[in-house]
Chain A
Amino acid sequence: MKRMMISGNEAVAYAALHAGAKVISGYPGTPSSEVIGSLMKKPPFEGTHIEWSTNEKVAIEVAATCAWAGKRALCTMKMSGLNVAYDSMIGIAHSGVIGGLVVYVADDPGTTSGMCEQDSRGFALMSDMVMLEPGSVAETYDMVKYAFDLSEKIQEPVFVRSVTVVAQSHAVVDVEDRTMPDPSVPVVKKDVNKYAKAGAAMCMAQHQNCIDNLKKGAEIIEKDGLNKLHLGKKGGIGIISVSSVKPYVEEGLNIAESMGWKREDVSTLEAICTIPFPDNEIRKLLEHCGTIVVAEELEPYMERQVCILAFQTGAKVRVVGKLDGTLSRIGAYNALNVAKGVMAAANLPFDESIMTAGDDVAAKSLPRPITTCAGCPHRGTYLAINKAIRNAKLKKDEVIVTGDIGCTILGMNPPFNTVWMEISMGASIPCAHGFYFAGVDKPIFATIGDSTFIHNGMPGLVNAVQHNTNITVIIMDNGWTAMTGMQVNPNTASEFQREGDVNVDLVELVQHMGVKHFYVTDPYDLDGMTAVLDECLTIKGLKVVIARRECAIQAGRRKVKYAKMHVDENLCINCNVCINTTGCSALIPGEKNVHIDPNACNGCSLCSQVCPKKAIIKEEI
Chain B
Amino acid sequence: MQKQYDIYIVGLGGQGVLTIGDLLAQAGLAKDIPVNFYPRKGMSQRGGFVQGQLRFGSSNVGASIPRKGADLVVSMERSEALKCAGYCKPGCDFLLYDDVWVTTDVIAKREKYPELDDVKAEIKTAGANLYCLSSEHLPVVNGVPARANMFILGALLSNTSLKELFTLDEIISALQNFMPKNLESNIAAVKAGYECALKAE
Contact = CB atoms under 8 A, between A and B. Distances in A.
A332 B64 contact: yes
Interface residues of A, number: 55
Contact of A334 (B45, B62, B84): B62
The B contact surface, by secondary structure, is mixed
A539 B60 CA distance: 63
Interface stretch (A44-52, A357-365, A530-538, A540-548): A357-365
Nearest to A363: B82
B94 to A, nearest CB: 12
B63 interface: yes
Given A366-B103, A368-B49, A358 B84 contact: yes
B122 interface: yes
A247 interface: yes
A448 interface: no
B67 A579 contact: no
A170 B83 CA distance: 23
Interface stretch (B33-41, B132-140, B181-189, B193-201): B33-41
A336 interface: yes
A370 B64 contact: no
B80 A244 contact: no
A443 to B, nearest CB: 28
Contacts of A345: none
Interface in B20-49: 22, 25-26, 29, 34-40, 42-43, 45-49
Interface in A288-344: 332-336
Interface stretch (B106-114, B141-149, B152-160, B162-170): B106-114
A553 B45 contact: yes
Interface string A139-183: 000000000000000000000000001101111100000000000
Nearest to B32: A172
A359 B49 CA distance: 16
B117 interface: no
B97 interface: no
A112 B40 CA distance: 8
Interface in A565-592: 576, 579-580, 583, 585, 589
Contact of A136 (B36, B47, B104): B36
A335 B65 CA distance: 8
B63 A244 contact: yes
Given A354-B67, A370-B48, A373-B45, A244 B105 contact: no
A410 B85 CA distance: 29
Given A136-B60, A247-B62, A335-B62, A364 B122 contact: yes
Given A135-B62, A169-B37, 13 more contacts: A5-B25, A5-B37, A168-B38, A170-B37, A172-B34, A244-B62, A244-B63, A245-B62, A255-B66, A334-B64, A354-B68, A366-B79, A579-B107
22 contacts: A5-B37, A136-B60, A168-B38, A169-B36, A171-B36, A171-B37, A172-B35, A245-B62, A246-B62, A334-B64, A354-B66, A354-B67, A357-B85, A358-B84, A361-B82, A362-B86, A368-B48, A368-B103, A371-B47, A579-B107, A580-B108, A589-B102
